[in-house]
Structure 1
Amino acid sequence: MTTATYARRLRRAGFRIAVPVFALTLVLGGCGSDDSSQIGASSVGTVNDINPKDVSELQDGGNFRLALTSFPETFNSDHVDASSDVSDVVGWTLPGTVTANAAGELSVDHDYFTDIQLTGTEPQQVTYTINPKAVWSDGSPITWEDMRSQAQALSGKDVAYQVRGTDGFDRVEKVERGVDDRQAVVTFAKHYAEWQGMFNPFYPKASTESPTAFENWARNSLPLSAGPFVISSIDRAQQRITLNRNPKWWGNTPKLDSVTFAVLDYSARISALQNNELDAATVSGIDEISTAAGSPGLDVRRAPSPRFSHFTFNGAPGALLEDPQLRIAISKAIDRQGIANATQHGVVANPEPLNNHIYVKGQKGYQDNSAAVSYDPQAAAKMLDDLGWKLNGDVREKDGRKLELRDVMYQQDAWVQMAQIAQQNLAAIGVKLTIQPVPGNGLFKDVVDPGNFDIVQFTWSGGILPLGALPQIYAYDPNNRLSNKGRIGSPELNALIEETISELDPEKAIELANKADRMIFEEGFSLPIVQSPGAVAVRSTVANYGAFGLASSDLTKVGFVK
């Protein structure tokens, strides 16, 4: 049986900069099946599938059970050590600024802010008015000082703060008190196109007031929060985290009593669903979707999500793939359409590879910018010859060095099977690919972030405000790499990214983003594979939860039908 993760869509996950996801949400398997009844859409759209119910139809109470890929390295989702598992947990417990409907249209999250307005453009200025009822879990008020502290910490100006991304805070000139402590006025030194995505999630100043606090305050727990739930128990021995209702919560009372996250091996997830040990998990591949759809008490819900798998290359100085032309040659030898066919046959209509690093199919702005890496093994072989990588037996060599690449990924059959397709492709042109699965715990901190790979496979989870990924992932500063895992970039690309995220005209910003995306392909930064079809197996009794697509979820409304 094939396996996959559940792409948990949190209240504000669509507004965060991209987060790395260990597990593959698109699973190889079922290629011999023609069960067309299980085929879904391949592009994000204007719908979600969450079994919507009025809260009057739901039980009061209940424990909602979800799985994690690995135990969080930190509960600070802005830290470089954070992964999607961190965001999955803290998304239930922390404030944010905006929510979105199924069409991706934004509105202010009134649980936390009564108003958020762009109140100036020269200079750009945004005024945040905090809900007067909003308090941290110790009862202290949420104030403008929390916003000022977070903005300073995430600005990137002090590299002692090991941030995952600056998310526009590097462009903030100052954060000032407004009419009272419940209002913050943010003034920008430079325009920032996606200002609506800032402060998602929003942390208390205790977590950001110094580099030491940023590193340690939420390292092993989340001492202070302000969502409908709070972390009540962390059991590292059992690899389990429990949330309970926040007694200081001022909004609508959650229907659930508790939420339990447990680290669970992927091979056990479908069985856990069938045995009533989990309440939701992603399913992919026709075999897994059909198995879930045919299991009593489970429904398969569908809404493609802004999430995609990829191969990222290590282009650091001295690395085997330092030469961008070598990375292009490797890219051109990998049959992405073949991988798409294998991963999504019987799952989506007309499987296709993703041809953009910024936008996903169906999202405004999406276009094919991948000409530089189009599949052409003959051209790839010629490029290698021209670069001096000559065949010596089955493997090419240059200056006594063999063209042998280590491909690192989370230890999951789906990733390994995808790598095996690339391995066969590359062997055909004299490149040896060694597949190196690694357990989820410590994968990024101990392997990927130190650069101990030639190629790494994982998933980027983005959102409806995707431009924040440009400076976070694709810009490069060797002194502050943020989430640039491959250490690849150029001053020219940095300048174009700067121009893109400074553009307040959305149409012009899209045009510039696609220009940047073409440059990202041309430098051989990474190779997008496919986006998530967003099929989710959910217990039939669960309401207001499932495949969210572009929409936010109201976690106070998640529950079990009476």
Structure 2
Amino acid sequence: MPPFQAPQPAYRDSMHSMQKIRRRTAPALIAGVVGIALALTGCTSGGEATPEVTKQPLDPAGDVNPMDAADVPQGGELRFPLDSLPTNWNYGQVDGALDDASIIEQAIMLKTFNIGLDGAPALNTDLLDSAEAVSEDPLVIEYKINPDAVWSDGVPITAADFKAQWTAQNGTNEEYLIGDPTGYNSIGSVEQGTDPKDVVVTYATPFSDWKSLFSPLYPASQISTPEAFNTGYADAIPVTAGPFKLEKLDTSARTVSIVPDENWWGDAPKLDRVIFIALDGDADIDAYLNNEIDLVSAGSSDRYERIATADDTDIRAAPSASYSHIDFSSSGILADEKIRQALQHAINRQSIADVLVGTLPFETSLLGNHIFLGTDSGYVDNSSPAADFDPDAAKKILEDDGWTGDGAVRSKDGADLEVSMTIPAGIPTSNQIAQVVQAQLADVGVKLSIDEVDVDSFFSDYITPGAFDMTVFSWVGTGYYAAGASIFSTDPQSQNYGRIGTSDIDDLLGQVVQIPDADEANAMWNDIDEQVWEEGHSLPIIQSPRVIAIDPKIVNYGARPGAADIDWKIVGFSK
């Protein structure tokens, strides 16, 4: 499994669409379990006993019904559900790093390297002829751009596009509202080499995950000023570069349709059209059963049970690169780390996991690490003792912090201990998780209110600006560990939405992204994780299974393993 790069906001299976990507991580809603991020779905209620079910291991190789591209028939229209309609299609912009957006952008934009089914980054030869380190000290990467590569408006892709993206995302100009400067802020210069198709990137400090940068790449014509960068792709997709191009973006109907781009220079895509449809809650399950869409996430008990015996359906499953979690914020009452630490003991993570997966017939276990997934070689369970379920310990921490418990709700200096949990409306699983947490916190004298907000503005209006006390969504990995650094950084331009961190953690983050040796880096990442637990930053729940119910005729798509990218050129229908 590739390294977990914290959020790419996942699919409705794991908390799917609250996708937030972490600047190369995406958050997703918890819909089946957020996959990074925004998809929640209905499950059995936390208080009901669930029947015993035989659990099957998830295949780390995934299940995409592979077929050689040459054998995939030409034609067909694929109808694809989304958890929400993204409001910004610039992946580097603060509101743009969502999993739903990333799924579509993989068809209409280009990355320098793509993550394969084996979890390893591979040079994207549609965009680049080569990308090599021509110097180690300082680190210098030279990119040779494919001579045929052009934007959808016919303008050649050149070094100017790389330079514009670095200028926008390196964090030196705060007018660019970026999601995360990691990697770009390590670069000292980006210049044209021998010709416009030659790019020379010189690093001021080493960056081990340099292959993660300039992905996806955006045109200089659209991002060269802060205003253009921030708003040019807001509810619009003006210029693309990929096997597909935008046909129509309909914010009222909440749909996006893409068709093959006649300017595309690579292998022609197999499909004639892909229509993406944003559907709230479990409406996607109904749509699938009514043959209105061709696949659906089925990563929670209720969703799986509704779909498992559907006619003409394959169930494809794999371990995903996302994890569901509860996020804390320091913007309100939870600025007191003692309260956050108490909440970590008061919340029973296993009961939340049961809500998420219940009788789902696939093996899952609690995740004890913020950096690594259970399938990563660097994984160590660092959750104990900071997140041991221990209501008595929670009560003692609160009492020592001055919160007395004479009534049903503790108080201090005349104020009650009241916390809110912000969740997207219409997502049953999110609501069920909130209710479970509400009951558990009541047991230790904490009053939790549940604040349901519009699903499409959940990230942009609440999570990204940190306007919450607690929330629940999923982070989706991107295949690079450095992509997750932003989630724990105190830098204002980061994906640390709760603004919880320390200077010591910042220092370690700055060091670890420079370490090329995997074992040494893994050890430091685990040191960071231990400190993150101690701070009460967030509560990981489970590594989300990616479970897809799908038309059996669909080939080269389904349950991708880990952070594997979608090769939209070869997705199609068998005869």
User: TM-score normalized by structure 2?
Assistant: 0.91
- The one-letter amino acid paired with 2:28 is V
State percent identity of aligned pairs.
33
Q: 1:21 aligns with which of 25, 28, 37?
A: 28
Q: How does 1:36-435 map to 2 (within 5 A)?
A: 36=54, 39-41=55-57, 46-82=60-96, 83-316=98-331, 319-347=332-360, 351-371=364-384, 372-411=386-425, 412-435=427-450
> CA deviation digits over 1:139-165, x for unaligned, max 9?
221111110110111000100000011
Secondary structure in structure 2 of the residue aligned to 1:518:
helix
Aligned-residue offset at 1:435: 1.6
Preserved contact between residue 426 and residue 432 of structure 1 (Cα < 8 Å): yes
Secondary structure in structure 2 of the residue aligned to 1:241:
strand
Partner of 1:5: 12
Partner of 2:480: 465
CA RMSD of aligned residues (A): 2.1
Q: How does 1:499-538 map to 2 (within 5 A)?
A: 499-538=511-550
Aligned-residue offset at 1:6: 5.6
Aligned-residue offset at 1:501: 1.0
Partner of 1:561: 574
- Determine the C-alpha separation between the residues in 2 that align with 1:6 and 1:407: 21
Secondary structure in structure 2 of the residue aligned to 1:304:
strand
Secondary structure in structure 1 of the residue aligned to 2:206:
coil
Preserved contact between residue 255 and residue 278 of structure 2 (Cα < 8 Å): yes
Secondary structure in structure 2 of the residue aligned to 1:5:
coil
Preserved contact between residue 14 and residue 324 of structure 2 (Cα < 8 Å): no
- Determine the C-alpha separation between the residues in 2 that align with 1:281 and 1:439: 22
- Determine the C-alpha separation between the residues in 1 that align with 2:209 and 2:199: 18
- Determine the C-alpha separation between the residues in 2 that align with 1:544 and 1:308: 24
Secondary structure in structure 1 of the residue aligned to 2:526:
helix
Q: 1:32 aligns with which of 37, 45, 50?
A: 50
> CA deviation digits over 1:24-74, x for unaligned, max 9?
3325635634443xx3436xx640101111234433211111122222211
- The one-letter amino acid paired with 1:366 is Y
Q: 2:489 aligns with which of 475, 487, 491?
A: 475
**Counterparts in 2 of 1:120 and 1:56: CA distance versus 1, 3 Å:** closer
- Determine the C-alpha separation between the residues in 2 that align with 1:170 and 1:215: 19
> CA deviation digits over 1:150-183, x for unaligned, max 9?
0111000100000011130011000122232111
**Counterparts in 2 of 1:409 and 1:21: CA distance versus 1, 3 Å:** same
Please say which of residues 210-219 and 382-391 is displaced more in the overlay. 210-219
> CA deviation digits over 1:315-372, x for unaligned, max 9?
13xx101111210111111111222234223325554211111111101211111122
**Counterparts in 2 of 1:451 and 1:464: CA distance versus 1, 3 Å:** closer
Preserved contact between residue 144 and residue 182 of structure 1 (Cα < 8 Å): yes
- Determine the C-alpha separation between the residues in 2 that align with 1:429 and 1:236: 44
- The one-letter amino acid paired with 1:560 is F
- Determine the C-alpha separation between the residues in 2 that align with 1:429 and 1:503: 43
Preserved contact between residue 174 and residue 187 of structure 1 (Cα < 8 Å): yes
Partner of 2:470: 455
- Determine the C-alpha separation between the residues in 2 that align with 1:212 and 1:166: 18
Secondary structure in structure 1 of the residue aligned to 2:303:
helix
State the number of aligned residues.
548
- Determine the C-alpha separation between the residues in 1 that align with 2:67 and 2:175: 47
Preserved contact between residue 15 and residue 32 of structure 2 (Cα < 8 Å): no
- The one-letter amino acid paired with 2:317 is R
- The one-letter amino acid paired with 2:207 is Y
**Counterparts in 2 of 1:458 and 1:8: CA distance versus 1, 3 Å:** closer
Aligned-residue offset at 1:121: 1.9
Preserved contact between residue 15 and residue 324 of structure 2 (Cα < 8 Å): no
- Determine the C-alpha separation between the residues in 2 that align with 1:329 and 1:253: 56
- The one-letter amino acid paired with 1:497 is L
**Counterparts in 2 of 1:349 and 1:540: CA distance versus 1, 3 Å:** closer
Q: Which runs of 5+ in 1 are unaligned?
A: none
